[in-house]
Amino acid sequence: MFFQAPRVNIFALIRPMLYGEQSLTTVGEIGERALIELMLRRLTPMPGMPVPFWDDVMAIGLADGRAAVINTDMLVWETDIPPGMTPYQAARKAVVMNFSDLGAKGVRPQAFLASLGLPRDTLVDDVEEMARGFEAGAREHGGYVIGGDTNEASEIIISGVAIGVALQDRIIRRDGSRPGDVLAATGLFGDTATTFKILLEGYEAPEGLRDSLLASVYMPRARVEEGVALSSSGSATASIDSSDGLAISLHDLQRSSGVGFRLESLDASPAAREFAELNDLDPLDLALYGGEEYEIIFTVRPGGLDLAQESLMAVGCELVELGVATSDRKIVLVEDGEEKPVRKEGWEHFRI
């Protein structure tokens, strides 16, 4: 059945009869995080939730020490797809962004489900390309697409779901960082922020640089093996996926763990440094205030750094030290001996 609902919002007309006076505040005015906070207040937490609210993933206990770990994230064509990205790449990215959240927790994603919203005039060939993209994204990371559904919508929406199973006490949560922990990541930051400068703000870049940068946005990879290795090593105290950008992710980790961070050794990616040099920009701004970059940011217990390094090395990844967790709850960048506050800026829906 296809409801030929009129374009006017009938509900707006009957709302006063149902609820009386209402606040006219919109979601655009309060932003995504405040909105989620309001919603969570309406929810009864599941007893014994293996992962609390405000983490990268959700989970249900399996009563044998394991948990089924799950995540859902939505790609909306108009707002989430950068110019030039193909349907194949968009679909593949929908897998990557969902798998990345599980990977960051040390959980191997086994399966992907896609729920598609499609306008009637979407080309069938483009949807087949999306199917190829889902398949590629899942298989590249060792998972399978196990199904989904399609729906009519006024723009292309890809709502993805990732699922995996893990030992409950091996899931790396957001709330385990302690003062004195080393802050680290699975890679350098700045490639995607640099690419957005080129794609969205008209900056120029030399041909060779441009190609490798575009790949970072169009063909990202999730750090699944890296997260699983970290989890197995037992050296990580907390972690978060960096898809909202380094700065926002650090603020989220701070919020959950109740610590601060001193970024004593932050460096930008080589491409971001080269681009910043050419365009007279601050490379560390590109590293901090980007987004759509799928690294794992994590803390390591004091004395566990070698173990973390070795476990990542075994899967071909070099651990990047960023700084240290502190007890003062501030997030600061240390540059030339001076401390600069790290702003809570980067990717946030409804705000920017």
Quick one: tokens of 185?
């990541």
Which of residues 95, 104, 107, 163 is near a copy of itself by CB under 8 A? 163
Within 158-264, residue ranges assigned H as helices are 191-201, 207-218, 224-233, 246-257
Task: List C-alpha distances in Å: 343 to 31, 61, 247, 249, 252.
Answer: 16, 36, 7, 11, 12
What whole-number distance in Å separates Cα of residue 158 and Cα of residue 133? 12
For 265, what's the count of Cα atoms within 13 Å in the CB-facing half-sphere?
13
Q: How far is the CB of 213 from a copy of itself (least distance, A)?
A: 15
Q: Measured in whole angstroms, how far is the alpha carbon of residue 279 from the centre of its chain? A: 28
By CB under 8 A, tell whether 327 contacts a copy of itself: no
Contact between 14 and a copy of itself per CB under 8 A: yes
Distances (CA, A) of 70 to 40, 55, 58, 247: 18, 11, 5, 25
Nearest distance in Å: CB 326, a copy of itself = 28
Question: Which window, 74-82, 170-178, 182-190, 234-242, contacts a copy of itself (CB under 8 A)?
Answer: 74-82
Does residue 219 touch a copy of itself according to CB under 8 A? no
Q: Is 175 in the site for a copy of itself (CB under 8 A)?
A: no
**Given candidates 16, 149, 278, 327, which one binds a copy of itself under the rule CB under 8 A?**
149
| Residue 305 is a binding residue for a copy of itself (CB under 8 A) | no
Based on the shown chain and the rule CB under 8 A, indicate whether residue 215 belongs to the binding site for a copy of itself: no
Q: Is 202 in the site for a copy of itself (CB under 8 A)?
A: no
Binding-residue pattern over the window 258 to 297 for a copy of itself, x denoting contact by CB under 8 A = --------------------------------xxx-----
Give me the 226-265 binding string for a copy of itself, x by CB under 8 A, dash otherwise.
-------------------x--------------------
Minimum gap (Å) between residue 75 Cβ and a copy of itself: 8
Q: Is the dihedral of CA 296, 251, 69, 349 positive or negative?
A: negative
Task: Read off φ and ψ for residue 22, nearest 5 degrees.
Answer: -135, 155
Q: Nearest to residue 86, comparing CAs of 39, 47, 136?
A: 136
Using the rule CB under 8 A, give the single segment among 69-77, 218-226, 275-283, 312-320 that binds a copy of itself. Answer: 69-77
Stretch 22-51 residues interacting with a copy of itself (CB under 8 A)? 22-30, 32, 35-36, 38-46, 49
- CA-to-CA distance for 267 and 35, rounded, in angstroms? 33
- Identify the bridge partners of residue 61 per DSSP, sorted by sequence position: 67
Which amino acid appears at position 311 of this protein? S
Phi and psi (nearest 5°) for 97? -65, -35
Contact call for residue 115 and a copy of itself (CB under 8 A): yes
Among 94, 95, 102, 157, binds a copy of itself (CB under 8 A): 157
Q: Give the binding range for a copy of itself (CB under 8 A) out of 156-164, 174-182, 206-214, 257-265.
A: 156-164
Q: Is residue 183 within 8 Å of residue 323, measured between CB atoms?
A: yes
| Residue 329 is a binding residue for a copy of itself (CB under 8 A) | no
* 273-277 long-range contacts, CB within 8 A, separation 24+: 273/190, 274/209, 275/194, 275/197, 275/203, 275/205, 275/209, 275/213, 276/194
> Is residue 307 near a copy of itself by the rule CB under 8 A?
no
Single out the residue of 111, 209, 219, 334 in contact with a copy of itself (rule: CB under 8 A): 111
User: Which tokens belong to 28?
Assistant: 């655009």
**313 near a copy of itself, rule: CB under 8 A:** no
Q: Which is nearer to a copy of itself, 259 or 294 (CB)?
A: 294
Interface stretch with a copy of itself, choices 55-63, 225-233, 300-308, 320-328 (CB under 8 A): 55-63
Tell whether residue 167 is a contact of a copy of itself (CB under 8 A): no
CA diameter of the chain: 65
Q: Does residue 135 bind a copy of itself (CB under 8 A)?
A: yes
